Amino acid sequence: MIDVSTRFNDEIGTKVVEDFKKLHKMGSLDDYFDKFEELKAIALLVMRNLLFPDDYFIDCLLGGLKSHLKSFVKAFHPITLFTAIEYARCQEETVEAIRT
């Protein structure tokens, strides 16, 4: 078994946290959410399991969304990451329905 602190030395840890903060939606919304959750989990390990409020992760998630999704989600003031994701999915479905 590999020690997490050995596997993710400071240089790698810093990169993971930077990647997490810089993450933006490029492909599908589900791909963005999957990558967000993956980097969030690694970032928490690297940052030695510090406790962050949901607001921190909601802000990080919103920061990577396109403006038409971000403004919609913000309007509902989500209090959990789950609700923020659901609002974004709802808006994306609405936008896709209007396009077709």
d(CA 16, CA 43): 6
Over the stretch 56-99, which tens digit does the pLDDT of each residue have? Answer: 888 888 989 999 999 999 999 999 989 999 999 999 999 999 99
Over the stretch 22-61, which tens digit does the pLDDT of each residue have? Answer: 777 888 888 888 888 887 777 766 665 566 777 888 888 8
Task: Judge whether residue 14 has pLDDT over 50.
Answer: yes
**Helices and strands: H and E segment counts in the chain:** 6, 0
Q: Whole-model pTM?
A: 0.66
| Of 59, 64, 91, residue with least CA distance to 78 | 59
